[in-house]
Structure formats: structure tokens, C-alpha cells
Copies of this chain bind each other. A is one copy, B any other.
Amino acid sequence: MSRTRVHNLFVSLDGYAAGEHVTLEQPIGDAGSLFRRFDGRVIHGIDNAPDAPITVDRALTSTWAQGIGAEIMGRRKFGPQTGAWPEDGWQGWWGDEPPFRTPVFVLTHHPRASLEFANGTTFHFVDGSPAEVLQRARDAAQGGDVRIGGGPSTVRQFLEADLIDFLHLAIVPVVLGRGTSPWAGLTDIQDRFDIESVSAPSGLVHQLWNRRRG
């Protein structure tokens, strides 16, 4: 049974998971303090940075890619542009080695040809409801799970449609004062999940939300 998973969603105490004002220089907007306490997120396993200590934070964030067959991301995660795609050669923030290594479905109302990379990452630019795009991603994942890669507005849409089976939150002890919230407009979604919390020595609190069964 293929699941829909969210990983490494870093959220401030006031509920923001990204800043406003995403620009070429500031991919996560003005919310850098979300990642100042722990910037070692390891997304392809702890062997990603072989010399770094294996900490609680690294071990938990290393589940990001395990069992994943496709990702869905919002357009703002792919790039800072808005409107019709300009002919600027933009291929995402990640250079020649996007870390995804699976098909990635970028939500956009504006058509664009797919982009394929040698390391297994292919970006498809798609329009549709969360359920429609999830079905396409599920088909492409070939039995693997589908990751909702963010940003926060995209996570919010999929939570609202009750399509999320697993959510890994990292609650960061910072107050941003402004930003984009994955919780906006949602109420009592926690009731659908079994939730574990652990405090890491870094000061982060990790929460693992697994959809309740039965």
C-alpha cells in the first residue's frame, strides 16, 4: 500500500514553515532561522555526509528518501518565478544533481516541457487537483511512496484534502512573526493521526504523525 509522506517540515513556534519574499537569493524567504539550529538535514541516508556525527536529528531526517518513488512539489519550491515560464533556462535550484532521483511533479498552471537529469530526477510540470496529481505521482512511483515535498502551502493543500498518511515535523524554538503556514485554515487534523514526540539534544522537537488505522 503506497503512502503519501511529508518529511523534514521545519515549523516555528508560531506555525510558519517558510518565510515570505522568496527570491533567487533567498530560496526559503526570510526564514533562515528555521535552519540555523540544525542545518545538517540528510536526505539520502546518513552516508550522505560520512564524516559528520550520527545525531538524533541526522538519523530522523535521513528517512526522507527511504521507500520514496516520486515527489510532488509546489512551484515556489522549484523556483522564484511567477506567471508563464520565462525563457531563462531555469532548471531549479539544484544544478546538475537534483537530490530527488525520482520523478518530481511540479504544481503549476503554466505548461512547460519535462526536464530530465542523468541522476534519475525528472521534473514534470502539471496542473490539477491534489487528488489528480497524486494519482499521477502514484503511478510514476511504481509501488513506492509519494513524498509531498513542500513548500508549506502545498503541504496544506494535501492535508486539507486528507491525502497525507505520514508527516515528520521538526518544531524549531524560534518565533518568526510572519511567513507561510502549513496549518492555515485547518482545524483538528491531528485527530486522524497517532503522534509521537521526541526532544532532540539540539533543541528541536521531532513529531512523527502516522495516519490512524482501522
Contact = CB atoms under 8 A, between A and B. Distances in A.
Contacts of A1: 50-51
A24 interface: no
Interface stretch (A55-63, A85-93, A107-115, A152-160): A55-63
Interface in A52-85: 53-56, 59-60, 62-63, 66-67
Given A51-B1, A145-B50, A201-B196, A45 B59 contact: no
A63 B62 contact: yes
A66 B46 contact: yes
Complex copy number for this chain: 2
A50 B5 CA distance: 12
A66 B66 CA distance: 11
A56 B166 contact: no
A156 to B, nearest CB: 21
A91 to B, nearest CB: 29
Contact of A46 (B53, B56, B63, B197): B63
Contact of A56 (B3, B47, B51, B196): B196
A175 interface: no
A94 to B, nearest CB: 22
A59 B53 contact: no
Contacts of A53: 166, 194, 208, 210
A206 interface: yes
Given A54-B166, A55-B208, A196-B200, A46 B67 contact: yes
A168 interface: yes
Contacts of A186: none
Interface of A: 1, 3, 5, 45-47, 50-51, 53-56, 59-60, 62-63, 66-67, 144-145, 166, 168, 194, 196-201, 206, 208, 210
